[in-house]
Homo-oligomer: A and B are copies of this chain.
């Protein structure tokens, strides 16, 4: 801190004010201090540890939706790691809105969290560069950061989707529909890429009417699933891009006249008890959360290393719906 103060030509108190985002510093002074911090590779958490006296440490977590059961075990796993490090968890939902993600992440930084774990809704995270430069450790989870270099802990969406679609192909399907989340979401795009690759690897043509990406609202998913299952040459199987889509697709299929094969990305509670059981490509959301939080605390403990992307494997669980043969048209 002394070095930063000397380099910026200000007092220690001023450096502390800038680091802690307290008022009473001119824009010009703040910029000089920030430049000195960047130049010297000053780690905010080192100073935070000194300045924090009496404050509880905290970690911010920006999720897509606190109410989505996929994120519940991830949330809990981050909490457990934070707790083991004596830190509280401050969290919130972006509701898949990049502006809301940005607003929430910056509010957490202003609240002086020690570190940040983000499930990004947007694809441009340059707004976090000053915070990261100022020493707020940041790890992305479930989806990578956009336009900045940062730690990311992901599931193998491409590989998982490839395996799930190949499984349907192996059970005789040639006409397979793909219903996924909005195309700008990294996982949705990766799973679509896995679908296309598996079809191509099997030498199967893809009709673009078999592909539908968009919001996971039940109304949209229901309409798209019904459309793909109607007409002269319907699809005989569906691959669904996440747990929200699968929950709706299962209902459409249950009400459909002919059997339709289904493999869904993400596991669902009770999925094993349906008739047939739902075959899924399962992620491990608790492990995603735990791995991201451990990575974050490694950084907070002062380990300096280049940003790393960790990809966790998925697991195909065959339960019946993905092993149905194609129904006669």
Q: List residues of A whose CB falls within 8 A of some B CB.
A: 21-23, 53-56, 58, 65-69, 71-73, 75-77, 79, 83, 88-93, 104, 107-108, 110-111, 247, 250-251, 254, 268-271, 273-275, 286
Contacts and interface: CB of A to CB of B under 8 A. Distances in A.
Contacts of A72: 66-69, 71-72
Contacts of A54: 21-23, 110
A273 B286 contact: no
A251 B273 contact: yes
Contact of A250 (B77, B251, B273): B273
A93 B76 contact: yes
Q: From DSSP, what is the main secondary structure of chain A's interface residues?
A: mixed
Given A90-B91, A268-B270, 10 more contacts: A55-B111, A65-B76, A67-B76, A79-B93, A88-B90, A247-B270, A250-B273, A270-B270, A274-B274, A275-B275
Contact of A69 (B21, B79, B269, B275): B269
Contacts of A268: 269-270
Copies of the polypeptide in the assembly: 2
A68 to B, nearest CB: 7
Contacts of A104: 88
Nearest to A68: B72
A68 B104 CA distance: 24
Contacts of A270: 247, 250, 268-271, 273-274
Nearest to A71: B72
A77 B66 CA distance: 9
